[in-house]
Structure 1
Amino acid sequence: MAGRGSRLRPHSLTVPKPLIPVAGQPIVHRLVKDIAKVLKQPIEEIAFVLGDPAWFGDDVVTSLEDLAKGLGAKASIYRQDLPLGTGHAIMCAKPSLSGPAVIAYADTLIRAEFDLDPTADSVIWTKEVENPEAYGVVKLNDNQEIVELVEKPDTFVSNQAVIGIYYFKDVAVLKGKLQEILDENVMNGGEYQINDGIKRMMADGKVFKTGTVDEWMDCGNKSITIETNQRMLGFLKEDGEEELIAASSKLENSKIIEPCFVGENVVLKNTTIGPFVSVGNNTIIENSIVKNSLIQTHTSIKNANLDNAMIGNHVKYNGDFKSISIGDYSILE
């Protein structure tokens, strides 16, 4: 999670993208918890690969340590000082690369229910897509084993897109292959890639299988993140496992059309929100209609008619624009 999330600016200018809340929880928190549900086994350690300490500071580290502790695991914090690719990022966590492990990119959310194949040396999680030519996909043999990774194929290879979550029965094997990549300075696009390590494992006869997720939700840019918030709220409402409307929220002549997330000490005055709205803690919304939007904490909104909007923390907004994207500490009055 060391990247700067430039496609999600201005929101990622002040908050690291993996820590931007979706449906009331930071993206990386939801991802780690969802992976834990799929694994169905105890987790001993969660290693986080962060960027510059000036950007991923002590508050970020504390948040991640609390996340790991909540799952009964210890947190290990590593830094990737230069953007040298996925393979390089993984190797920044070299001391933690032993035994069974999951490697995940922290800008995606999933919904899945499957058992890991005990015969596989590795499982690459995939999602069936209608336009595989736009993705990196897996090529399968007659035994449904992965024999090749193909990036944006011109001709049909499969409809199983790689989503950036991997399981390794012994991640030390991948570590050995990535070390070879680094030692030989094998780069693609100016970066060291996880795929080059995986291909060397395949060449050695390691068995790779697919684990297909039911839902794959990206948080790459504003529009996609709002769509992910919408879908996640629907899933959470259906599950009934999370309290989505805080008891401390206050409604004055207002209405909530579910599903919505409403944080602590939110005040709604003469306002209708929903469906598919997330509102962070200590936000006040007055004389407004808000739907299909993401609004973070400590923000004041008045006289708004919002749809497909994403608004950051500590914002003051008073106006009639509808589809907007406003970063933290902005004022529009």
Structure 2
Amino acid sequence: MKIIVPMAGMGKRMRPHTLTVPKPLVPIAGKPIVQRLVEDIAKVCGEPVDEVAFIIGRFGATVEKQLQGIAESVGAKATIVYQDEALGTAHAILCAQNSLTGPLVVAFADTLFKADFTLDSTVAGTIWVQQVEDPRPFGVVKLNEQGQITDFVEKPVEFVSDLAIIGIYYFQDGEYLRRELQYLLDNDIKDKGEYQLTNALENMKNQGTVFVPGRVTEWLDCGNKDATVFTNQRYLEYLKERGELLVSPSAIITNSVLIEPVYVGEHAIITNSVVGPHVSLGDHANVRDSRLSNSIVQTSASLLNTVITNSMVGNHAVVTGTPDDLSLGDYNNIRV
């Protein structure tokens, strides 16, 4: 089994947090989004994952080394390929054409999920969906009476379905997928100016491929700051249910209260403070005389004499006395 992870986007809606790192490396409960995604997919695959192909921009050697470590954490080798021009989802996946063989999962790295299932590898293809109130920003599917997918519609203006594609797909035959993606590019078949995976899925369906919907318990988006903070909240609840250790033994906690669930990274220092619920503190974070809730605080950040909620604080940032809803990038310093 292979996992294909397109993640070359600039993450503009997540700025300033994506000015120094790509969005999929922003942490959720102490681990990068893409690591959480790869680990969760590996758990439901039902068979070993032998390769994870990351489709990235020119993010540099440090990022590539981190991605290699993520693949190795699930017992797989990492393949790094580049998408130098944003030409759509189909083009992004085809950048990893040498890895499009055998059974594989395609997972776009701006979404996480909660699920309790094992992937059914006997079907030709599975498209994971979730019911949404407003389907217009998403690709959606329509189903027949047998529960099979009959139509793929990209960002419908008129209502056709409220089953949104969450960005995770299983294909039994990677070579077949590769041929259909290449067909779109060879014939310049675009939708809304880009080469869309949904067009390839529609062609495959018209040739007799039966796609079935997969359902998740919860779909967690990481598209902007508020969505990412909410995803952190829900993921901490999920990890608490699984009984995972969320507070590092090396953290130093003095005269403080932790309100679960919270994640506290290695060598973090918490003094005279109340932290939680739904707070993630990165390694070496320093919190003193403060009250934190529903926030993500990254590596080596310092929060001093402050009260924050619904916030993201970047690596090495310093906050002293600030309003309670904050989105602060790496190395910034705010004092009020």
Aligned letter for 1:2?
A
Query: Conserved in 1, the CA contact under 8 Å of 2:139 and 2:198?
Result: no
Query: Within 5 Å, which residues of 2 pair with 1:174-253?
Result: 174-240=177-243, 242-253=244-255
Structure 2 distance, partners of 1:2, 1:155, is 30
Which one of 20, 32, 35 corresponds to residue 29 of structure 1? Answer: 35
Q: Which of 286, 295, 298 is the aligned partner of 1:296?
A: 298
Q: What is residue 60 of structure 2 aligned with on the other side?
A: 57
Deviations 1:7-59 (A, max 9, x none): 0000011111000101110000000111111112111111110102xxx1111
Distance across 2 between alignment mates of 1:80 and 1:154 = 29
Describe the shift of the 1:331–1:164 C-alpha distance in structure 2 as closer, same or farther (beyond 3 A): same
Q: CA deviation at 1:98?
A: 0.8
Residue 321 in 1 paired to residue 327 in 2? no
Q: 2:88 aligns with which of 85, 90, 93?
A: 85
Alpha-carbon shift at residue 90 of structure 1 (Å): 0.7
CA contact (8 A) 2:126 2:213 kept: yes
Task: Write the distance in 2 (CA, Å) between the matches of 1:155 and 1:188.
Answer: 16
> 1:114–1:211: 8 Å Cα contact kept in structure 2?
no
TM-score (norm 1): 0.95
Q: What amino acid sits opposite 2:36 in the alignment?
A: R
Seen in structure 2, the aligned counterparts of structure 1 residues 268 and 244 have a Cα distance that, compared at 3 Å, is same
**Aligned residues of 2:259 and 2:276 also touching (Cα < 8 A):** yes
Deviations 1:185-205 (A, max 9, x none): 112222211111111101101
Aligned-residue offset at 1:156 = 4.9
Secondary structure of the 1:10 match is coil
Task: Return the alpha-carbon distance in structure 2 between the equivalents of residues 134 and 72 of structure 1.
Answer: 35
Q: What's the TM-score, normalizing by structure 2?
A: 0.95
**Matched residue of 1:308: which SS?**
strand
Q: Identify the residue that residue 112 of structure 1 maps to in structure 2.
A: 115
**Number of the residue aligned with 1:142:** 145
* 1:14 maps to amino acid: T
Match of residue 314, structure 2, among 297, 312, 315: 312
Q: Secondary structure at the match of 2:18?
A: helix
Question: What amino acid does structure 2 have at the position aligned with 1:282?
Answer: H
Task: Note the C-alpha offset of 1:117.
Answer: 3.9
Kindly state the Cα deviation for residue 134 of structure 1 after the two structures are TM-superposed.
4.8
Contact conserved, 1:3 with 1:51, CA < 8 A, in 2? yes
State the distance in 2 between where 1:123 and 1:87 align.
17
Write the deviation string for residues 38-82 of structure 1: whole angstroms up to 9, x where unpaired: 112111111110102xxx111111111111112111111100011
Cα deviation for residue 89 of structure 1 reads 0.7
The whole-number CA distance in structure 2 between the counterparts of 1:114 and 1:149 is: 24
Using the alignment, how far apart are the partners of 2:198 and 2:48 within structure 1?
27
> Do structure 1's residue 262 and structure 2's residue 264 form an aligned pair?
yes
Aligned to 1:272: 274
User: How far apart, CA to CA, are the structure 2 residues paired with 1:42 and 1:199?
Assistant: 29
Letter in 1 for 2:303: I
Within the candidate set 33, 36, 49, 1:43 is matched to 49
Find the aligned partners of 1:174 and 1:67 in 2 and give their Cα distance: 25
Q: 1:251-301, CA deviations, whole angstroms, 9 ceiling, x for partnerless residues? A: 121111110000011111111010000000111111110101110011111
User: How far is the alpha carbon of 1:119 from its aligned partner?
Assistant: 4.9
**Distance of 2:51 and 2:17 partners within structure 1:** 30
SS at match of 2:188: coil
Q: Which amino acid aligns with 2:279?
A: V
Structure 1 letter corresponding to 2:313: I
SS at match of 1:11: coil
Q: Give the gaps of 5 or more residues in structure 1.
A: none
